Structure 1
Amino acid sequence: MPASRKTLRFLAIWLVTASFALVAIVLNSSKDNSDNLQRIRDSGVLRVLTRNGSTTYYESQGAPAGFEYQLALAFANHLDVELEIIPVVSLDDVFSGLVNNQADIAAAALSITPARQETLLFGPSYLSVKQYFIYNRDVNSPMSSIEDLIGKQIRVISNTAHAEQLKTLQNEHPELTWMESRDLETIDLLEQLADGQIDATIVNSTEYYANRAFYPSFRIAFSAGKPRKIAWAMAASPANASLIKEMTIFFKGITENGKLARLIDRNFTLNERQTFISTHTFLQMKEERLPEVKGIIEQVAIEYDLDWRLLAAISYQESHWDAEARSPTGVRGMMMLTRSTARELQVDDRLDPLQSLRGGARYYKKLYSRIPAGIEAPDRSWFALAAYNIGLGHVEDARVITQKLGGNPNLWNDVKENLPLLRQQKWYKPSKYGYARGDEAARYVRNIRDYYSLLTWDELNRYRVPPPRIVSDYLPAELNRGFDAL
């Protein structure tokens, strides 16, 4: 039966309406995807993919840190938008995240390589790194050439510039062999090298210098190939043209005003919290600096019911009793408070030593009160100090790991052995709070215990015997008695 005129009119109207709707959708979609920079500004958020690591992104004193994080935050501020960090585990996750539009950029210490340029766009390079073959001198004989690597156990991460470099070297040295792993990170390779499971690996120069304090037996064999340029990556889309242009303006600005150079120097020349001063230096500074601040340290210790020697030890570890101290991550003052922590503790001026000491004392006491009830003194203090350094969440992750491995999560001696595992993907990936420089937290607590012991010994035996040689947790028992009251 033929359609009525009314029905035909209805269909015609519907088709026209549907056509306009389709055109509107296409145009809006085109508008949304035509300029990612404008979309970022409209949304007010810059989404950044990165990896957990000492040179990229991690948490310190409960606040985000890392070279790539600091750069990304500066760029977000430049755009006047909020920063959303999206940490992932592997390089494959970084690349797939960009392709699937999970983020706007990837700031993950990525080398610019021909293979990657086939599928990704890169912004301006802000860092040049060398690729080092490294070995453990405690396990292997010195290595200084490719020939020394023939027949050795070499492992690198797959889908990296290091794997590409090995393939290039193999063209000239066919007998060169190696293993590639997709489920490992740099820290895993460093641990395998330290344990003697492998003979050599390749790391970027930045990674080597950021981690060398933790692996004093590692040595550089030689550089592999030419230096590689590091840059942020984006999906290969014309919509990112204006974003790359704005990046170029940003990096030109921080290069000219010296901010980039300062960030590089602070993160890779002298890594934060790796100033492991000798006992001799501590005793010297105790005589020179401590008298100037001892009065206010004692005052604050009385106010917050703390042993003044503990507060003195913490403030020395944090700043060497320097009221104007500054770290690469922006923490400042005698107790090295972050800006957000200072606000939370109602500290208006982080450079005022009295305010800083009061804020640090409040923060320590707050953490101490939040340590699980089953943890007794003096271990309770060690856990609180570790939390002061890397955050309570990471300390709890280490306790969970300790329990899984059969240790006692309420004993510091057990947990401190597992804190370094928070740097290894195998352990931090399933943890609630992720990657952390747990070995630094363990060293942080050990240093404070040593300084406290020296101050205690000095008070009790100033005119009788010289200070003891520091041997960390194996100090004479009488030096640790003062902690029982904490």
Structure 2
Amino acid sequence: MKFYIYIIFLSLVFVGCSKKQDEPDDLAQIVARGELRAVTLESATSYYMIGDNEMGFDFALAQNLADQLDVELKVVIASSLNELKQMLRDGKADFAAYKVPATRSVREEFLSTNVEVMSNLVLVQAKNRKPITNVMQLIDKDVYVQRHSQYLTRLKHLNDEIGGGINIKYLSDTLTIEEIMYEVARNKIPFTVADNDVAELGKKYIKNLHIGMPISISLPKAWIVRRNAPDLDSAINRWYSDIEKSKYLRFMTQRYLNRSNYFNNFNMFVLKGNISPYDSLFKANASIAGLDWRLLAAVAYNESRFNPNTVSPNGAMGIMQLMHRTGKRYGLNDSTFFEPADNIKAGARLIASLGKQFAAVKDSAERIKYVLAAYNAGHGHIVDAMNLAKKYKDNPNIWSDNVEKYLLLKSKAKYYNDPVVKLGYFRANHTVKFVKGVVATYEKYKTQKP
């Protein structure tokens, strides 16, 4: 209650005072205009999009903060940490919903909030490469880091500490650490440096990644605000103190930061002679989707393993794994999301809608791959990949080695910053795997059930 009284009081103060032209926005001004502007970076831990849905741990917390302040959240994406800090300086954002390393220069210029984690820097290399266990083994080795980053600063200090010899190679600041770790895992570059928490999460979805020795002590990373916005800093700290031990924060931490294969605890249950316990429902709704019922069943199997009660780490619900907003658009309400009959019907309606949206892909066998990809990733990301295929003179109406290729390339800055791309960064490995999985499952079902 004190938190809300504090906000209302500051709002009244603002209404009673005239704002100078060059006065920076603090909490009262934010509440009065009804909009909280968060600047962040696209990353697996902070912010990304799945379909039309904004996701990410820092994004979810920022949205909760905005809800508590009773204002709208506006997210601004910076291309690098330097740009993020500059946006704060220029007043284009109110705070950074991204955990910025608390270096001396950051502490001097900004206020670090209590939304923080402790993390040390680690060496990252491919699992199939002989591990580095001693800093002296880095002599004559190439280590790649972003040009303007805390990783470079620490690597230079380490190089001085051992008397030199590390070959420091520079990468663009616009590359995400996830992109760089992918290059390491593919053996395109030998070594990089990352925050331990980011590297640990990356290891869960990037194969052939090894987290090596620490190269720094543990230091804080935190959301930051401008020094001339102390009331916003105080409000963030009060809000975070309220949620720090809450079920909400534990749930979001589990959802975004402790992800594992959330199907592991659900064993597929198949009745003898059937594909699933819900065959009659798939058959009843196949005509809505315009699909063989076994293909509709294959979608459900790959989405939920036929578990009608599952909720994914991204918030998708039920046997067909529909996001809340999407499910409501296709007929679900809060009481029917976990009802197999209703969830399957809504999934079939979504598939039918996607089929119409990709009508330009004339070959039905090709079109279904677009539909499956859009079902998993959202229509917009697939259109982006089609636009890239067309621009680079590949075939936008062929999936394999064409649109599929450009969907995967949307995790690279060159492609997600291309003018023909509307939805920006996307990590497509899961979507590509999903399409292949559904097609393979369908082929299997065709041989065992007419």
Matches within 5 A, 1:131-146: 131-138=121-128, 140-146=129-135
Work out whether residues 374 and 410 of structure 1, in 8 Å CA contact, stay in contact via their aligned partners in 2.
yes
Q: 2:385 aligns with which of 398, 401, 411?
A: 398
- Report the Cα distance in structure 2 between the residues aligned to 1:130 and 1:454, rounded to whole angstroms: 47
Q: 1:230 aligns with which of 205, 216, 221?
A: 221
Tell whether 2:405 aligns with 1:445. Answer: no
Q: Which residue of 2 aligns with 1:309?
A: 294
What residue ranges of structure 2 are gaps of 5+ in the alignment?
1-16
Q: Which residue of 1 aligns with 2:184?
A: 193
Matches within 5 A, 1:82-93: 82-93=72-83
Q: 1:426 aligns with which of 414, 422, 440?
A: 414
State the identity as a percent.
25
Q: Which residue of 2 aligns with 1:350?
A: 337
- SS for the counterpart of 2:410 is helix
Work out whether residues 154 and 178 of structure 1, in 8 Å CA contact, stay in contact via their aligned partners in 2.
yes
Deviations 1:114-147 (A, max 9, x none): 2211222221133333422111133x32222212
AA at the equivalent of 1:429: N
Work out whether residues 131 and 212 of structure 2, in 8 Å CA contact, stay in contact via their aligned partners in 1.
yes
Q: Which residue of 1 aligns with 2:3?
A: none
Matches within 5 A, 1:162-201: 162-175=151-164, 176-181=166-171, 182-201=173-192
Q: Which residue of 1 aligns with 2:374?
A: 387
- Report the Cα distance in structure 1 between the residues aligned to 2:196 and 2:445, rounded to whole angstroms: 39
Cα separation, partners in 2 of 1:334 and 1:57, compared to 1, 3 Å: same
- Report the Cα distance in structure 1 between the residues aligned to 2:80 and 2:271, rounded to whole angstroms: 49
Q: CA deviation at 1:42?
A: 1.2
Deviations 1:246-290 (A, max 9, x none): 11122122221132232222212215xx5587xxx98x5445896
Deviations 1:329-372 (A, max 9, x none): 33222222222212222311312222211111111111111015
Matches within 5 A, 1:54-65: 54-65=44-55
Q: Which residue of 1 aligns with 2:326?
A: 341
The range that moved more, 297-306 or 395-404, is: 297-306
- SS for the counterpart of 1:29 is coil
- SS for the counterpart of 1:151 is coil
AA at the equivalent of 1:370: Q
RMSD between aligned residues = 2.5
Q: Which residue of 2 aligns with 1:158?
A: 147
Deviations 1:59-80 (A, max 9, x none): 1132111112111111111111
- Report the Cα distance in structure 2 between the residues aligned to 1:302 and 1:404, rounded to whole angstroms: 36
Cα separation, partners in 2 of 1:97 and 1:372, compared to 1, 3 Å: farther
- Report the Cα distance in structure 2 between the residues aligned to 1:96 and 1:34, rounded to whole angstroms: 14
AA at the equivalent of 2:187: G
AA at the equivalent of 1:408: N
Tell whether 2:283 aligns with 1:298. Answer: yes
AA at the equivalent of 1:94: L
Work out whether residues 209 and 268 of structure 1, in 8 Å CA contact, stay in contact via their aligned partners in 2.
no
Cα separation, partners in 2 of 1:205 and 1:375, compared to 1, 3 Å: farther
Structure 2 length normalisation: TM-score?
0.87
Work out whether residues 37 and 74 of structure 2, in 8 Å CA contact, stay in contact via their aligned partners in 1.
yes
Structure with greater Cα Rg? 1
The range that moved more, 32-41 or 336-345, is: 32-41
Cα separation, partners in 2 of 1:199 and 1:333, compared to 1, 3 Å: same
- SS for the counterpart of 2:132 is coil
- Report the Cα distance in structure 2 between the residues aligned to 1:407 and 1:352, rounded to whole angstroms: 42
- Report the Cα distance in structure 1 between the residues aligned to 2:222 and 2:372, rounded to whole angstroms: 36
Q: 2:38 aligns with which of 38, 48, 63?
A: 48
- Report the Cα distance in structure 2 between the residues aligned to 1:363 and 1:371, rounded to whole angstroms: 13
Cα separation, partners in 2 of 1:442 and 1:112, compared to 1, 3 Å: same
- Report the Cα distance in structure 1 between the residues aligned to 2:392 and 2:51, rounded to whole angstroms: 26
- SS for the counterpart of 1:92 is helix
Q: CA deviation at 1:31?
A: 9.7
Work out whether residues 288 and 349 of structure 2, in 8 Å CA contact, stay in contact via their aligned partners in 1.
no
Cα separation, partners in 2 of 1:374 and 1:314, compared to 1, 3 Å: closer
Deviations 1:129-176 (A, max 9, x none): 3422111133x3222221222211111123322222213322321223
The range that moved more, 417-426 or 370-379, is: 370-379
- Report the Cα distance in structure 1 between the residues aligned to 2:263 and 2:200, rounded to whole angstroms: 15
Deviations 1:15-73 (A, max 9, x none): xxxxxxxxxxxx62249947611111111111111112222211113211111211111
Structure 1 length normalisation: TM-score?
0.81
The range that moved more, 44-53 or 107-116, is: 107-116
Deviations 1:187-237 (A, max 9, x none): 331243234332100122333233334432111121221233232111221
Q: Which residue of 2 aligns with 1:5?
A: none
Q: Which residue of 2 aligns with 1:270?
A: 259
- Report the Cα distance in structure 2 between the residues aligned to 1:174 and 1:457, rounded to whole angstroms: 66
Work out whether residues 390 and 396 of structure 2, in 8 Å CA contact, stay in contact via their aligned partners in 1.
yes
Matches within 5 A, 1:19-58: 28-30=18-20, 33=23, 36-58=26-48
Q: Which residue of 2 aligns with 1:259?
A: 248
AA at the equivalent of 1:346: G
Cα separation, partners in 2 of 1:34 and 1:392, compared to 1, 3 Å: closer
Cα separation, partners in 2 of 1:203 and 1:457, compared to 1, 3 Å: farther
- SS for the counterpart of 1:56 is coil
Work out whether residues 131 and 203 of structure 1, in 8 Å CA contact, stay in contact via their aligned partners in 2.
yes
AA at the equivalent of 1:217: N
Work out whether residues 129 and 205 of structure 1, in 8 Å CA contact, stay in contact via their aligned partners in 2.
yes
Work out whether residues 48 and 106 of structure 1, in 8 Å CA contact, stay in contact via their aligned partners in 2.
yes
- Report the Cα distance in structure 2 between the residues aligned to 1:390 and 1:84, rounded to whole angstroms: 22
- SS for the counterpart of 1:125 is strand
Q: Which residue of 1 aligns with 2:11?
A: none
Work out whether residues 203 and 210 of structure 2, in 8 Å CA contact, stay in contact via their aligned partners in 1.
no
- Report the Cα distance in structure 1 between the residues aligned to 2:362 and 2:227, rounded to whole angstroms: 53
- Report the Cα distance in structure 1 between the residues aligned to 2:313 and 2:87, rounded to whole angstroms: 29
What residue ranges of structure 1 are gaps of 5+ in the alignment?
1-26, 461-486
- Report the Cα distance in structure 2 between the residues aligned to 1:53 and 1:372, rounded to whole angstroms: 33
- Report the Cα distance in structure 2 between the residues aligned to 1:149 and 1:285, rounded to whole angstroms: 51
